[in-house]
Amino acid sequence: MTQVSVIIPTFNRSEKVSRAISSVLSQTFTDFEIIVVDDCSVDETPDALAGFKEDIRVIRHKQNRGVSEARNSGIEAAQSPLIALLDSDDYWMPEKLGVQQRFFRENPDAMICQTEELWIRNGVRVNPGKKHLKRSGNIFGPSLKLCMVSPSAVMLKRSLLEEVGPFDHDFPVCEDYDLWLRITCKYAVHLIKKPLVVREGGAPDQLSASRKGMDRFRIRSMIKLLESRRLKPTQITALYRELEAKCRIYGEGCIKRGKEEEGRYYLQLPDRLKQTFPETNPQEQQAFDRPPFSP
């Protein structure tokens, strides 16, 4: 059995997925398997993958099912105790797997770690804004604001996903935000302060570029977390603080676009949730009734 399973989901990225796979095959650490999940590509991706022959395992979806199900298919097929994710438009520095595998060997109680990354936007290197700077340790609070963990930079124990659940395929976007919240409310995320991932942005095929109103899905994720009854009172307080901000921004945006009923629903949502999920007495929580504009 290999030590690390590398999961690469892809859809219509024949050239970039070849670069991603090659960056894994160039790792100084070699005790890994590569599982590529082709999410029903209609370009030259199958031919590109065939060129790697026995170096990779390929799972092909018969219909496009989205990145969450693609990642989950790879995770289900994985045979290693450690899982590393790599988006097909990103690529790794040669020492990436070795550094993270050594981290887990030296820190056996750790469940998840990530590395720093280099950002490339439209072919030019850029520095991430202050709000995107990664932190180490208990990052649940910052993770409520925006995604503080990058899939391509992560390595985690397969047992962690068995505990908190896989990616939620009902999320067309923010599926990683949803998973990281489920993890960070319970476990520390350790940061290795080396830029070992090259992350490209600005392409029109990226999910974040093709979806508007992403806060609606972040709001849905926070409601899911409340319903799970796994949060401590202090975490519920932090969640409500961010939920109120996101609902206000999204609700006011709806009203400006003429969607007054939906806008009022989101503006009133935090108060309705607090009646169902109080901050001080989680044991008194009841089922939350979802009306028509339920996120």
Verify that 194 and 261 share a domain, yes or no: no
Per-residue pLDDT at 122: 85
Give the whole-angstrom CA distance, residue 35 versus residue 57. 5
Verify that 13 and 34 share a domain, yes or no: yes
Residue 34 tokens, joined: 């590569």
Whether residue 145 is contained in a domain is answered as yes
Q: Which amino acid is at 213?
A: G
Verify that 191 and 53 share a domain, yes or no: yes
Per-residue pLDDT at 200: 87
Query: What is the tens place of the pLDDT at every residue in 75-97?
Result: 999 999 999 999 999 999 999 99
Whether residue 157 is contained in a domain is answered as yes
- DSSP annotation of 124 reads E
Per-residue pLDDT at 278: 86
Neighbours of 190 (CB within 10 A): 18
Whether residue 291 is contained in a domain is answered as no
Please tell me the pTM assigned to this model: 0.91
Whether residue 290 is contained in a domain is answered as no
Give how many domains the chain has, as a whole number: 2
Query: What is the tens place of the pLDDT at every residue in 103-117?
Result: 999 999 999 999 999
Verify that 200 and 233 share a domain, yes or no: no
- CA dist 262 → 215, 248, 291, 295 (Å): 14, 12, 11, 10
Domain boundary among the residues 192, 210, 228 is at 210
Range of the domain at 255: 215-284
Q: Is residue 192 scored above 90 in pLDDT?
A: yes
Whether residue 115 is contained in a domain is answered as yes
Burial 84-110 (b: 16+ CB within 10 A, else e): bbbbbbbbbbeebbbbbbeebeeeeeb
CATH number at residue 50: 3.90.550.10
Q: Which amino acid is at 135?
A: R
> How would residue 209 be classed by pLDDT, with cut points 50, 70 and 90?
very low
Give the whole-angstrom CA distance, residue 19 versus residue 24. 9
- Average pLDDT over every residue of 58-79: 97
Q: Which amino acid is at 274?
A: K
Verify that 238 and 199 share a domain, yes or no: no
> How would residue 99 be classed by pLDDT, with cut points 50, 70 and 90?
very high
Q: According to DSSP H, which parts of 117-232 are helical?
A: 140-145, 158-164, 175-184, 207-210, 215-228
- Output the CA torsion 253→208→127→82 (10° steps): 130
Domain boundary among the residues 210, 244, 260 is at 210
Whether residue 206 is contained in a domain is answered as yes
Task: List beta partners, residue 38.
Answer: 10, 60
Give the whole-angstrom CA distance, residue 294 versus residue 113. 34
Whether residue 295 is contained in a domain is answered as no
Indicate left, alpha or beta for 43 from its phi (over 0: left) and psi (-120 to 50: alpha): beta
